[in-house]
């Protein structure tokens, strides 16, 4: 019985510790080498130069943040001051990386955009992101490289209109310099 209690305490401390280390609003982030759709090394463009929304998504849950994506696109923020960046979390996906990369290349051509990939948790580990398996993390980063907003959306709790409006509001205030 004592062994079970001790094991429970250890697990509780481990879980609490992992949550305490998770990325939070106000944390400063660094640029990280990830990969492009062709599996070449790449850095996150415009980090520290523009207000950015990073969509770090497991391919199995890539659509759960669509209301946020759609709301941001509808605002048509000027490219000179704002950038949205998708980064596919390949490590947690059930699909093979080569298939995901093929899909990404198709989306890049269709939407005239660049989507990056993270095959080995480089970004997750460097920024201290929480569990991103079956999730899409939406992270707004200011020009000062500080996290201004972060939330994790899952199939069981996808983004909604209220969350999308909150993200748009954060981006608008950062662009306005507030």
Q: Which domains does the chain carry?
A: 25-175 (3.40.30.10)
Helix axes 161-175, 66-75, angle to 10 degrees: 40
Strands 34-35 and 41-42: antiparallel
The secondary structure of residue 63, as a DSSP letter, is G
- pLDDT tens series, the chain, 178 aa: 444 444 343 433 343 333 445 899 999 999 999 999 999 999 999 999 999 999 999 988 888 999 999 999 999 999 999 999 999 999 998 889 999 899 889 888 877 789 999 999 999 999 999 998 999 999 999 999 999 999 999 989 999 999 999 999 999 999 999 7
Q: What is the pTM of this model?
A: 0.85
Category of 84 on φ-ψ map: left (φ > 0), alpha (ψ -120 to 50) or beta = beta
For CA atoms 76, 31, 89, 99, give the dihedral sign: positive
User: In the chain, what is the greatest distance between 2 CA atoms, to the nearest angstrom?
Assistant: 62
Asked if residues 25 and 133 have their Cβ atoms less than 8 Å apart, the reply is no
CA dist 45 and 113 (Å) reads: 12
Pairing of strands 115-118, 82-89: parallel
């Amino acid at each position: 019985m004592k062994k079970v209690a001790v094991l429970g305490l250890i697990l509780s401390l481990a879980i609490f510790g992992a949550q305490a280390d998770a990325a939070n609003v106000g944390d400063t982030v660094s640029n990280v080498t990830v990969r492009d759709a062709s599996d070449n090394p790449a850095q996150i463009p415009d980090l520290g130069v523009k207000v950015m929304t990073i969509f770090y998504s497991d391919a199995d849950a890539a659509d759960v943040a669509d209301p946020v994506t759609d709301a941001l696109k509808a605002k048509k923020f000027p490219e000179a001051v704002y950038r949205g960046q998708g980064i596919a979390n390949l490590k947690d996906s059930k699909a093979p990386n080569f298939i995901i990369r093929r899909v990404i290349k198709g989306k890049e051509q269709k939407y005239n955009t660049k989507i990056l990939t993270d095959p080995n948790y480089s970004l997750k580990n460097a920024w201290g992101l929480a569990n991103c398996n079956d999730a899409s993390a939406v992270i707004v980063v200011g020009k000062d490289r500080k996290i201004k907003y972060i939330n994790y959306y899952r199939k069981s709790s996808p983004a909604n209109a209220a969350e999308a409006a909150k993200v748009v509001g954060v981006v608008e205030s950062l662009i306005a310099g507030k």
